[in-house]
A and B are shown apart, each in its own frame.
Chain A
Amino acid sequence: MRYVMSKVGLFIVTLWAAITLNFLLPRLMPGSPVDAALGKLASAGVPITNAERNAIEVQLGVPHASVFTQYADYLRNIVTLRFGTSYSYPTQTVAQTIGKALPWTLVLVGVTTIVAFVVGTLLGVYAGWHRGRASDASITVGATFFGAFPPFWLGLLLLYVAAFKYGWFPIKGGYSPGASPSWSPSFLSDALQHSVLPALTLGITTLSGWVFGMRNNMINTLGEDYVTFAEANGLRSRTIALLYAARNALLPNVTAFGLILGAVVGGSVLVEGVFSYPGVGGLLFTAVTNHDFPLMQALFLVITLSMLVAIFIVELFYVRLDPRVRSAS
């Protein structure tokens, strides 16, 4: 119980810190992002209402108000989801734009992370158990090589080979142009086809993190006394490998989940850009290219918060894995 409470507390504090960082960032940067934002909106021919101007200023910095009033307004706006208008998509609010894109990324990143975690962990267990042998060497070298692939580069290559040259998969987007999102099976299968290449790219490049982490943990765990004792008691190899070694080696990997998730999220930004995938990463790509500050700010906040939530969920799950944490000490 103590563990859960401390994790909840940590989550809340980190949440607050991330929000505050997001508040401070544009105000610490040189130049005036507000003017830039307003200027861009004007040049896009978008009429700026007072409410929108207010929202942008609250996000990016009001030169004349005190920091504390700004902070209070900022927090209020966050809770009510008023992020202003982006100039890349002037017809909707930032909140709406992000709201449309978020599910795509959640599915892409979520599914890819889970699959990469499972496959990477199994490979790592196998490599660690068979350490020093050819199977270990090939897994290690393979993971090193593929893990060094810049996600956008692999995306480009896959795009070229699988989509452009051989037409096995669509070239861009989350769904065929002209189709409108719905829950119908035909749309879902269309969306699925469009997500294969981005998912493959993301998965292959982030796999190595899990593989190496697990392999190292396995090697360290195999040196522990309880593994030696299990061998002395003549337990079967498979029992020792899975229930004694891997089961314990898994624990540090779970706690390191947050780190690797960060890499996946970062990779998704690049991958979605390359595939023009309609997710949050693709939005960030667009926002940066257009110097769209309001959108960038809000995106950063959403991305960080999503990660915090995911990490928090995993940390709660850890309680089920490690009995030492379960008992109230």
Chain B
Amino acid sequence: MTIITAVPPPEAPGAAAAAVPGGTARGVPGPVRFVGRALRTLWSNGKARTGMIVLGLIIVVAVFAPLLAPHSPTAATFAPYKGPSGTNLLGTTGNGQDVFSQLIYGSRISLIVGLVAGGAATFVAVTLGLIAGYRPGPVDEVLGFITSLALVIPGIPLMIILAAYLQSRSVWTIVLVVAFTSWATGARVIRSQTSTLRTREFVTSAVFSGERMLRVVFREILPNMTSLVAASFFAAATAAVLAEASLEFLGLGNPATVSWGTILYAAEQQNALLTGQWLMVLAPGLAIVLLMVSFTLINFGVDALSNPRLREK
């Protein structure tokens, strides 16, 4: 039997649903365009938009802290244990420092720890997740087991123990400890997604056409997981902010650094609630909540990007 094909097969129907607002702009590099598109899509989601605005405000406060804070956060120049007044909007600490200025400067530490620890944890998660998901076999099994173990061990107690053992008391210790304990959730999610994508046709065809493994991972698999990675990052950042505040509240941070957690630590030490300085407790806590909520709200938008079912109507 001979088979004759009279007409070449039609191209895949491409045009219909893929229209992207904004079109393609020549001269703007690919990654920039991509980020721009992502930001625009996030902006269109109500929750994400709120989150971005709040985060933006906090970043502005952190960057312009010297301009916004009325006094230096560490200068012990005021009468201690004072309640709110004209000069000290939120009162003073036991050392006579202005709480309001501490609140403003404190945003820096919380932001840095949140973003850096979150970023580090996500980096580890992506690396391990990609490795485990791409090649099934002994490597995957071992990594999978380590990840399961890391997931089961409760984070805060582990962080507490690690921070207690590591005698040094710096912000970077905290960043390290937080990153070390938060990578597991992201790693598991990324591993499972990599494993799913690996069996998809576009990856198989890339492998068959001779693309080397690293190229396949970075060109084919990773770009299809960007929203997953972003979601991991924001979740890790949220957890990092909470963890940092908790560790400092327990006195495991550096008392000399000014952060929202250390304000709460000082407040607890001086029994601020009993002496009527409840604002000293309310304000930094609220700030922590706002930062975490902004990350989470943005994450709603990211989730909606990757899962169309979650999109807002």
Contacts and interface: CB of A to CB of B under 8 A. Distances in A.
Q: Is A–B contact present in the complex under a CB 8 A cutoff?
A: yes
Interface of A: 10, 13-14, 17-18, 21, 25-26, 29-31, 33, 132, 140, 144-145, 147-153, 156-157, 159-160, 164, 216, 219-220, 222-223, 258-259, 261-263, 265-267, 269-270, 273-274, 284-285, 288-289, 291, 293, 296-297, 299-300, 303-304, 307-308, 311
29 contacts: A10-B148, A14-B148, A14-B149, A29-B165, A31-B165, A145-B293, A148-B289, A149-B289, A150-B245, A150-B249, A151-B246, A156-B264, A156-B273, A164-B273, A216-B303, A219-B310, A258-B151, A262-B152, A265-B157, A266-B154, A267-B156, A269-B156, A270-B249, A274-B268, A284-B160, A296-B164, A297-B161, A304-B154, A307-B153
- Of B245, B293, B303, the most chain A CB neighbours within 10 A belong to B293
A31 B168 CA distance: 11
B312 interface: yes
B152 A307 contact: yes
Contacts of B250: 270, 273, 285, 288-289
B282 interface: yes
Given A18-B149, A148-B238, A153-B288, A30 B156 contact: no
Given A132-B312, A220-B309, A148 B296 contact: yes
A132 B313 contact: yes
Given A219-B310, A270-B246, A303-B157, A14 B152 contact: yes
B84 interface: no
Contacts of A261: 154
Contacts of A216: 303, 310
Contacts of B255: none
Contacts of B310: 216, 219
Top 6 closest A-B pairs, CB basis? A266-B156, A153-B285, A148-B292, A29-B165, A262-B154, A265-B154
A269 B157 contact: yes
Interface in B269-313: 273-274, 278, 281-282, 285, 288-289, 292-293, 296-297, 300, 303, 307, 309-310, 312-313
Contacts of B309: 219-220, 222-223
Given A145-B293, A150-B285, A157-B285, A269 B160 contact: yes
Contacts of A145: 289, 293
Contact of A156 (B148, B281, B300, B312): B281
A304 B153 contact: yes
Nearest to A144: B296
Nearest to B308: A223
Contacts of A267: 156
Given A156-B273, A220-B309, A270-B249, A311 B153 contact: no
B160 A160 contact: no
Given A223-B309, A304-B153, A152 B185 contact: no
Contacts of B157: 265-266, 269, 284, 299-300, 303-304
B2 interface: no
- Of A150, A151, A261, A311, the most chain B CB neighbours within 10 A belong to A150
Interface of B: 47, 145, 148-149, 151-158, 160-162, 164-167, 185, 238, 242, 245-246, 249-252, 264, 267-268, 273-274, 278, 281-282, 285, 288-289, 292-293, 296-297, 300, 303, 307, 309-310, 312-313
A108 to B, nearest CB: 15
Nearest to B309: A223
- Of A222, A266, A291, the most chain B CB neighbours within 10 A belong to A266
B152 A18 contact: yes
Nearest to A17: B149
Contact of A300 (B161, B167, B268, B292): B161
B281 A296 contact: no
A303 B154 contact: yes
Q: Is the interface of A mostly helix, strand, loop or mixed?
A: helix
B149 A300 contact: no
Given A152-B264, A303-B154, A288 B282 contact: no
A3 to B, nearest CB: 16
Contacts of B296: 144, 147-148
Nearest to B165: A29
A289 B249 contact: no
- Of A14, A147, A156, A285, the most chain B CB neighbours within 10 A belong to A156
A159 B288 contact: no
Given A18-B149, A153-B285, A219-B309, A288 B252 contact: yes
A30 to B, nearest CB: 7
B300 to A, nearest CB: 8
B53 to A, nearest CB: 15
Contacts of A297: 161
A21 B249 CA distance: 26
Contact of B166 (A13, A29, A303): A29
- Of B149, B165, B274, B307, the most chain A CB neighbours within 10 A belong to B165
Contacts of A288: 160, 164, 250-252
Given A144-B293, A259-B185, A296-B164, A160 B151 contact: no
Given A148-B293, A156-B273, A18 B268 contact: no
Contacts of B151: 258-259, 262
Contacts of B267: 156
Contacts of A259: 151, 185
A21 B297 contact: no
A261 B246 CA distance: 18
A304 B285 contact: no
- Of B153, B162, B264, B267, the most chain A CB neighbours within 10 A belong to B153
A30 B165 CA distance: 8
A308 B152 contact: yes
Contacts of A285: 250
B282 A157 contact: yes
A146 to B, nearest CB: 9
